[in-house]
Structure 1
Amino acid sequence: MQTKEFRIKWGMVIDIDKCTGCGACMVGCQVENNIAPMTKKDPYNYLQAITKDRDDASNKLRTMTWMNVYELTNGEKFPNHEVAYLPRPCMQCGNPACVPVCPVIATDKNEEGGIVSQIYPRCIGCRYCMAACPYHARYFNWWDPLWPEGMDKVLSPEASVRPRGVVEKCNFCHTRFMTAKEEARINGEDPENLAEDAYIPACAEICPSGAITFGDLNNPEHKVHQLSKDPNAFRLLEKLGLDPQVYYMSKREWVRKQGDNYAAKAKH
């Protein structure tokens, strides 16, 4: 499967040396996309849902988080021990492994800007895409979504709430992209030529340390394009040939090596 060419290719450059691991990007993503903080097995028993039958948040096979922050370490002992944090959204791969395995075309690489779409009404929950994604960027909705009492009144009207039985994933806050295009039309501007700051995902906007830069990777005037050409820029598991649209940066060699799953030789 060859990488499809897009006139605009939305992408990110995440500076790992700036990331503090605060998790603000995870919270911003959850709020923006109506990701349920709780799940319930019995849709008619609220008390049961919030007590013994609520999923344990530490169970990563059941929790729902489109953006994850991983901790990296160089494996050395003090005083040479170092830690880094790596936020991981969907890579929006140019040659996605998830697309060809889907039997119902619920995921595709035809969205504007090269975003890998997830069409929830088509999804049958087979989870082939989850097995194919080497970045573990897809999540299955095991139970009905649930919000604490009253919190459902502040859900974003822009994002639909997904039912149980479907796979979810990051879409670079696609609703913000559509809103930016609509605002451009209202202002008499070209919706196909948005300004650099007209469309920014929630994770990039909320990051307190400015570690996430977003824009058009194909536009030389966008900062994200320039950063992606930096000598310290790299992509996760680039050797797989999936052509991710998310780049990372770090001046530390051990971080860059871990990005491509480099295994150091054992010391004898």
Structure 2
Amino acid sequence: MTRYGMLINTLDCIGCYTCRVSCQRQNGLVPTEAFIHFLDSESGAYPHVKTEVVPVQCMHCDDAPCAKACPTSATYVTNEGIVRVDQDKCIGCKYCMAVCPYQARVINEVTGTVDKCRLCAAELAEQGTPNCSCVSACLTGCRMVGDLDDPESDIAQAVVSLNARTLTGDPQATIYYVR
């Protein structure tokens, strides 16, 4: 079975928002809705200050708190490790939004339901080769997507060689960062 995941190398991210705009277009989002938001991080002390742009989206947690909080089971985790939202079951209660540690959910202004990064799951299944719009659009190539459980995949090898980690340290999360 395939366990899709993403690697984001923040050392190469320039904060251009191309991934965000591409995602908005792909998913038909209005300008005020976005599945990707950015955190600006600063570390060190003068004169050795390091700044970093950290793109944040749904981490597709293995033990997703949003799925546990959903009273209608609209939010669920697929066998491939992708956290999905069944729009027909979502009642817009926002419980999932309240428990998401990444603030990665948005209200669809048209339907009143909650939505989030889908890891372009439908495209992944149809194309047979993983490719998300945010990955394709990235100007610096700092994003990659693939099968985390295939040791021969580019992403699995990059996670090891670049010592990538999840934001929380959870090895079962599907979004890895090089920082």
TM-score by length of 1: 0.63
Cα distance in 2, alignment partners of residues 168 and 69 from structure 1: 18
Count of aligned positions: 179
Cα distance in 1, alignment partners of residues 174 and 123 from structure 2: 18
* CA RMSD of superposed structures (Å): 1.6
1:28 corresponds to: 22
CA apart distance, 1:13 = 1.0
1:16 corresponds to: 10
2:117 corresponds to: 170
Question: Structure 1, unaligned stretches of length 5 or more?
Answer: 1-6, 38-62, 145-162, 181-193, 251-268
Query: Identity of counterpart residues, as a percentage?
Result: 34
Higher percent of residues as strand: 2
Alignment check: 8 A CA contact 1:96 1:242 kept:
no
CA apart distance, 1:231 = 5.8
1:115 corresponds to: 82
CA offset digits 1:25-73 (Å, max 9, x no partner): 0011000110112xxxxxxxxxxxxxxxxxxxxxxxxx41101122111
Cα distance in 1, alignment partners of residues 125 and 165 from structure 2: 29
Question: Aligned with 1:99: secondary structure?
Answer: helix
2:167 corresponds to: 236
Choose the corresponding residue for 1:94, options 42, 62, 70.
62
The aligned amino acid for 2:11 is: D
**Structure 1 outlier segments of 4+, above 6 Å:** none
Question: Structure 2, unaligned stretches of length 5 or more?
Answer: none
- RCO comparison, higher one (Cα < 8 Å, 6+): 2
CA offset digits 1:155-194 (Å, max 9, x no partner): xxxxxxxx1x1101000112312331xxxxxxxxxxxxx4
Cα distance in 2, alignment partners of residues 235 and 177 from structure 1: 22
Question: Aligned with 2:155: secondary structure?
Answer: helix
Alignment check: 8 A CA contact 1:95 1:242 kept:
no
5 Å-filtered alignment, 1:79-228, equals 79-110=47-78, 112-141=79-108, 143-144=109-110, 163=111, 165-180=112-127, 194=128, 198-228=129-159
TM-score by length of 2: 0.93
